[in-house]
Amino acid sequence: MIDEYKTFKVESSNEHNFNIYTGRDKDKHFIYTPYISFFNFDNLKDAEKMCNSLNKIADKYHNE
């Protein structure tokens, strides 16, 4: 079973804003910048690429 709190997921907020979070759908923990909790991307593919990069970093941390 996948630990929902050890993986990042992305959801579309609107056309160019995507929220990146960890946790379950009912208990989301968003990544916050100092002022905003969303990232601007041109499309969902770019947002998913960022999310995959974050998961690679998290995997490395959890495997050490």
pLDDT tens for 12-38 read 877 767 787 888 878 888 776 555 555
Radius of gyration of the chain (CA): 12
Q: Over the chain, what is the mean pLDDT?
A: 75
| Among the ranges given (2-6, 19-23, 26-30, 55-59), the one the predictor scored with the smallest mean pLDDT | 2-6
**What pLDDT score was predicted for residue 61?**
65
